[in-house]
Chain A
Amino acid sequence: MSQGLIDAITEMNEEAALKITRQLLDSGSDPLGILDDCRQAMEIVGKRFESGECFIPELIYAGEILSQISVLVKPHVKQEEGGKKAGKVVIGTVQGDIHDIAKDIVAFMLDVNGFEVINLGVDVPPAKFVEAVTRTGAKIVGLSGFLTLAFDPMKQTVAAFKAAGMDDVKIMIGGGPVDENVRQYTGADAWGQDAMAAVALAKQWTGG
């Protein structure tokens, strides 16, 4: 474990993080160990986000540092080792809405907290959500929407799961105007104000 690498990431020091990564790789360190340091660093950033010490710029920038480290490390990794995952979550912005920033933050926070996230992107039709759940066996779905016009597509997506007989799939919704009124309207199982709420719900639903 390289405390230096973990610190560089959590202190948002891109230059140092990349330099240490190169040094570790040059000295023959285990590339999976480097990725594990990254995971630990992101966990720290995620915790700070949860406690209100970190905000969106920190998350986005830490994510950017991480993706650059991955580029350096990936060629050295012989085989992707699937780590133990807390559970699978299918997530996407509903049909007709192309906002992705908040949805990607939720995906990121779920990932940091050990969930395998299947991110379907934006403008996702109900059938595609159902198809992704069928394919992956995920038991949790996150629907995102920034517009009041997203309420109906959310409702339709919830209905599509009901119609497919997938009553065991838990559905959470979130995004700008979403609140308890919208949860009731759409028939979703829960709603969340922010990414931390999404993580808490996912943990609760997986018994974590």
Chain B
Amino acid sequence: MFPTPENWNTLSLKEKQASRLKAWAEAPVPFATPEAAQGYKQRTQMLIDVVHLSKPVRVPVIPWWGVFPMHYAGVTVEEAMYDYEKLGNVFRKFNADFLPDGLVSCGLVGPGKVFDILGVKNYRWPGRGVPADTSYQCVEGEFMAAEDYDALMRDPSGYFQRTYLPRVLGGLEGWNMLGPWTDVVELPFVGLALIPTGLPPVQQAFKTLLEAGQAIFEWLNAMGPIEGASVAGLGLPSTIGGFTKAPFDILGDTLRGTRGIMHDMYRQPNKLLAAMERLVPVAIDQGVRGATGGNNPFVFIPLHKGADGFMSDKDFKKFYWPTLKAVLLGLIEAGTVPYLFVEGGYNQRLDVITDPDIPAGHTVWMFDKTDMQEVKKKLGGWATFGGNVPVSLFKTGTAQEVTDYVKKLIDEVAGDGGFILANGAVLDDAIAENVHAMIDTAKQYGVY
């Protein structure tokens, strides 16, 4: 937990950010060895340096990992999701073997048992609709109906509880009979307002939730020592504190779906715009809470449906950017550091995202298929940037090709600092030597 200083409200943006970065770097970790303590210090300092847009001792390398750790260990993703002993073996070994500059967290693998208990319908995961050795995948669908915008805007939490979650989590279907908690005012109405809680399907839904809660703690208790082994044992800092999304993606990914939100852009643009506005404080709160709870200032934001080709520049400026920008400003205001995972190409968006309202030295942008020379030209001196090593190269290329690519990238864009080396998109299937090649090149060739 981030210990919020008493004078928090009097601090400037830079001071707030510095306060969070310092608390993260100086977290009371029971390091196993002096080397681990030293490694942790060096790694956190490199990240602090790049956030400050200066040169660290060397280029930090923080790859994006999908299900590659399981492939590397020869364990299916399904096994790792359901057998936490195997999960631990996979991640302890993976972190030790690869030693990147950020913890490779086992948290994103997710607890299969919990998903089973809840009856998740809007995703398929290994062994449950997709092959055991692949990654989870989203089911395209309109889980929020086109006419639900007013209900969502009136009360996002209530909408999630009584409409959305009963649709996507089969085990909580009974919640669609619940009334709003805000009915519980004045003593005589307490009983009346809570009548639905006695209905058998509602009772069943709560029992299911309690069961899921227990399963979540089994998972959490298993994860603690796994992560601890890498953080305290190897000195790898966690580089993701909070998580949030662009309001357009919140609605477009799992609520309205890709087709649904694109229909809304024409049929009910004003409702869509208003709903995204309504979700801005919700998205900020989610990110800040994660960063505060985890005592880690970095808020991970994957960007999906605003990439080049997904919509026109005009629509990007109208539908995607304004509320994403508002979320970024809210996160920066809270002293956190938005860490954006810019999937696909963003060549046409660079002029828009380098918005003068966003202060320099407060955001991290990790790119995929965007021209990195242009990125350096436009983001250099304003924001931290990186990424771009093509995921295809890790599977189909040689270690030498990866090394050559990384050297060229470092030569071309990393010279002034403020740069983080990473693969462009999530790594599921790869040749281990090629992954080592990227990490080793950062460590040897990336020295400033």
* Chain A residues with a Cβ under 8 A of chain B: 12, 14, 53-58, 60-61, 64, 95-101, 123, 147-149, 151-152, 176-179, 181-182, 184-185, 194
Give the residues in chain A near B429, CB-CB below 8 Å.
147-149, 151-152
Q: Does B397 contact A181, Cβ atoms closer than 8 Å?
A: yes
Least distance between A205 CB and chain B CB atoms (Å): 23
Q: Does A179 contact B262, Cβ atoms closer than 8 Å?
A: no
| 6 nearest A-B residue pairs (beta carbon) | A185-B396, A181-B396, A57-B262, A60-B262, A181-B392, A148-B429
Bound-complex Cα distance A152 to B131 (A): 13
Q: Does A148 contact B427, Cβ atoms closer than 8 Å?
A: yes
Q: Does B262 contact A178, Cβ atoms closer than 8 Å?
A: no
A-B pairs with beta carbons under 8 Å apart, 26 shown: A14-B266, A53-B312, A55-B310, A56-B309, A56-B310, A58-B312, A61-B262, A64-B263, A96-B131, A96-B134, A97-B130, A97-B134, A98-B130, A98-B139, A99-B137, A101-B140, A123-B130, A147-B135, A148-B426, A149-B429, A151-B429, A177-B392, A181-B392, A181-B393, A182-B392, A182-B396
Query: Does B344 count as interface, using CB distance less than 8 angstroms?
Result: yes
Bound-complex Cα distance A156 to B66 (A): 22
Q: Does A184 contact B396, Cβ atoms closer than 8 Å?
A: yes
Bound-complex Cα distance A64 to B267 (A): 11
Give the residues in chain A near B310, CB-CB below 8 Å.
55-57
Q: Does A148 contact B395, Cβ atoms closer than 8 Å?
A: yes
Q: Does A149 contact B135, Cβ atoms closer than 8 Å?
A: yes
Give 1 or 0 for each of B125-166: 1 = CB within 8 Å of chain A CB. 000011101110101100000000000000000000000000
Least distance between A47 CB and chain B CB atoms (Å): 15
Query: Does B196 count as interface, using CB distance less than 8 angstroms?
Result: no
Query: Does B331 count as interface, using CB distance less than 8 angstroms?
Result: no
Q: Identify which of B139, B262, B267, B425 contacts A177 (C-beta below 8 A).
A: B425
Query: Does B124 count as interface, using CB distance less than 8 angstroms?
Result: yes
The verdict on A55 contacting B312 (CB below 8 Å), with A98-B124, A151-B396 known, is: yes
Bound-complex Cα distance A155 to B310 (A): 28
Give the residues in chain A near B392, CB-CB below 8 Å.
148, 151, 177-179, 181-182, 185
Besides A61-B263, A98-B139, A151-B429, 4 other A-B contacts (C-beta < 8 A)? A14-B266, A61-B265, A148-B392, A152-B429
Q: Does A101 contact B258, Cβ atoms closer than 8 Å?
A: yes
Least distance between B429 CB and chain A CB atoms (Å): 5
* Chain B residues with a Cβ under 8 A of chain A: 66-67, 124, 129-131, 133-135, 137, 139-140, 258-259, 262-263, 265-267, 309-312, 315, 343-344, 390-397, 425-430
Give the residues in chain B near A123, CB-CB below 8 Å.
130
Q: Which B-chain residue is minimally distant from A95 (CB atoms)?
A: B131
Bound-complex Cα distance A83 to B310 (A): 31
Least distance between A66 CB and chain B CB atoms (Å): 13
Least distance between A173 CB and chain B CB atoms (Å): 11
Q: Identify which of B259, B343, B430 contacts A60 (C-beta below 8 A).
A: B259
Least distance between A143 CB and chain B CB atoms (Å): 15
Q: Which B-chain residue is minimally distant from A63 (CB atoms)?
A: B259
Give the residues in chain A near B397, CB-CB below 8 Å.
181
Q: Identify which of B266, B312, B395 contacts A61 (C-beta below 8 A).
A: B266
Indicate the member of A56, A64, A152 with the most B CB atoms within 10 Å. Answer: A56
The verdict on A148 contacting B430 (CB below 8 Å), with A56-B262, A60-B259, A177-B391 known, is: yes
Bound-complex Cα distance A14 to B258 (A): 19
Least distance between B447 CB and chain A CB atoms (Å): 28
Give the residues in chain A near B262, CB-CB below 8 Å.
56-57, 60-61
Bound-complex Cα distance A182 to B396 (A): 6
Bound-complex Cα distance A148 to B266 (A): 34
Bound-complex Cα distance A56 to B320 (A): 14
Bound-complex Cα distance A55 to B393 (A): 29
Q: Does A148 contact B428, Cβ atoms closer than 8 Å?
A: yes
Give the residues in chain A near B396, CB-CB below 8 Å.
151, 181-182, 184-185
Least distance between A184 CB and chain B CB atoms (Å): 7
Bound-complex Cα distance A14 to B265 (A): 12
Q: Does A147 contact B267, Cβ atoms closer than 8 Å?
A: no
Q: Which B-chain residue is minimally distant from A53 (CB atoms)?
A: B312
Least distance between B312 CB and chain A CB atoms (Å): 5
Bound-complex Cα distance A58 to B130 (A): 31
The verdict on A12 contacting B266 (CB below 8 Å), with A147-B428, A148-B395, A148-B430 known, is: yes
Bound-complex Cα distance A183 to B348 (A): 26
Give the residues in chain A near B391, CB-CB below 8 Å.
148, 177
Give the residues in chain B near A95, CB-CB below 8 Å.
131
Least distance between A69 CB and chain B CB atoms (Å): 15
Bound-complex Cα distance A151 to B397 (A): 13
Indicate the member of A57, A95, A123 with the most B CB atoms within 10 Å. Answer: A57
